[in-house]
């Protein structure tokens, strides 16, 4: 009774399953990962939520009105209705003196590109309460990208 020798390699079933899985990844997953549109859409949503939350915190910290202006293509946090006096961006830890003033402009006037938003104009008072409950709806032009919403709760100003 001698030792049996086995051939090294893949069976036909293993090779077929591997090729099918790679085909599915190539057809569905990889194009979504290569295209940055879905990621930039979510990034803009997160940035907008951060701006609204920061506007509320500035209103409480400075005990003054802070206006939030949301148009179809941009978001602004300002100290006046006309948005001529914008809320400065938070200090960058890498740049504590705030020497990069041009980056402040880009941070507070965002252009999403392939996202449109519902219009909203509201204020936060010194207690952090909004002038009205607001729902900001994000509609992405990217296929299969979900509709997202930011809700500002009336009375409490909770942003989610």
pLDDT tens, position by position, 24-54: 888 887 776 666 666 778 888 888 899 999 9
State mean pLDDT over 10-35: 85
**Structural domain contains residue 117:** yes
Q: What's the CATH code of the domain at 60?
A: 3.55.40.10
Does residue 159 register a pLDDT over 80? yes
Q: Which domain holds residue 112?
A: 38-152
Query: Would you say residue 2 lies in a domain?
Result: no
Query: 135 pLDDT exceeds 80?
Result: yes
Helix/strand number for the chain, H first, E second: 4, 6
Residue 137 and residue 112 in contact, taking contact as beta carbons nearer than 8 Å? no
Model confidence at 91, pLDDT cuts 50, 70, 90, reads: low
Residue 160 is assigned to a structural domain of this protein = no
- What is the tens place of the pLDDT at every residue in 94-115? 554 444 444 445 445 566 677 8
| Average confidence (pLDDT) over 6-11 | 80
Question: What is the pLDDT at residue 36?
Answer: 66
- 28 in helix, strand or coil? helix
C-alpha to C-alpha distance for 46 and 135, rounded to whole angstroms:
15
User: Residue 12 domain-assigned?
Assistant: no
Place 14 in a pLDDT band, splitting at 50, 70 and 90: very high
Residue 158 located in a structural domain: no
Domain assignment of residue 22, yes or no: no
28 within some domain: no
How many domains does the chain fold into?
A: 1
Q: Is the pLDDT of residue 150 over 60?
A: yes
pLDDT, residue 128, reads 95
Question: Using 50, 70 and 90 to split pLDDT, how confident is the model at 138?
Answer: confident
Closest CA to 106 of 142, 75, 69: 75
Q: Cα 49 from chain centroid?
A: 7
Q: What is the rounded average pLDDT for all residues in the chain?
A: 82
Residue 85 lies in a domain: yes
């Amino acid at each position: 009774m001698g030792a049996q020798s086995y051939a090294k390699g893949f069976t036909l079933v293993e090779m077929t399953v591997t090729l099918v899985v790679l085909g599915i990844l190539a057809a569905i997953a990889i194009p979504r990962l290569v295209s940055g549109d879905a990621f930039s859409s979510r990034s803009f949503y997160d940035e907008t939520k951060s701006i609204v939350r920061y506007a509320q915190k500035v209103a409480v910290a400075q005990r003054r009105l802070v206006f939030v202006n949301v148009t179809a293509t941009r978001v602004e946090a300002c100290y006046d209705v006309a948005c001529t006096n914008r809320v400065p961006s938070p200090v960058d830890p890498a740049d504590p003196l705030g020497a990069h003033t041009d980056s402040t402009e880009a941070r507070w006037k965002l252009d999403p590109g392939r996202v449109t938003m519902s219009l909203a104009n509201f204020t936060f008072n010194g207690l952090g309460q909004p002038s009205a409950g607001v729902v900001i709806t994000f509609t992405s032009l990217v296929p299969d990208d979900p509709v997202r919403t930011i809700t500002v709760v009336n009375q409490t100003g909770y942003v989610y």
